[in-house]
């Protein structure tokens, strides 16, 4: 039976980006083969930078997944531009306010 994850292990799991860890292992392996004296200091530096680099990669990935489509991409799909959509919505809001005031 395993114990539930603690706050420390949950934070550590966020810092363990598999892509970064594989790349770091490849760099350390190559250095161990080419310059054995540099492998240990490089491993320490890469391990120390794993959390900041993983967080930057996660932010970059989140930004690319959450960014709204650009206007030229919307035009290619036949959708109106963003400013046209905003203008149409403002007109609709004004009409609804008039209807509410008339009632």
Percent of the chain with pLDDT over 90: 23
pLDDT score, position 67: 60
User: What is the mean pLDDT of the segment spanning 37-53?
Assistant: 88
- Helices of type H across the chain: 7-15, 18-34, 36-48, 50-66, 71-76, 82-102
Q: What is the pLDDT of residues 54-81, one digit of tens each?
A: 788 777 777 766 666 565 666 666 666 7
Confidence of residue 26 (pLDDT cuts 50, 70, 90): very high
pLDDT given for residue 29 in this prediction: 92
């Amino acid at each position: 039976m395993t114990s539930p994850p603690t706050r420390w292990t949950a934070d550590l799991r966020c810092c363990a980006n598999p892509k970064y860890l594989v790349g770091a292992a490849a760099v350390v392996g190559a250095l161990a083969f080419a310059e054995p004296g540099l492998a240990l200091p490089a491993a320490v530096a890469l391990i120390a930078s794993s959390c900041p680099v993983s967080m930057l990669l996660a932010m970059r990935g989140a930004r690319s997944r959450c960014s709204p489509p650009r206007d030229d991409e919307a035009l290619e799909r036949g959708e109106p531009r963003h400013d046209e959509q905003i203008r149409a919505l403002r007109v609709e809001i004004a009409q609804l306010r008039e209807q509410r005031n008339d009632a």
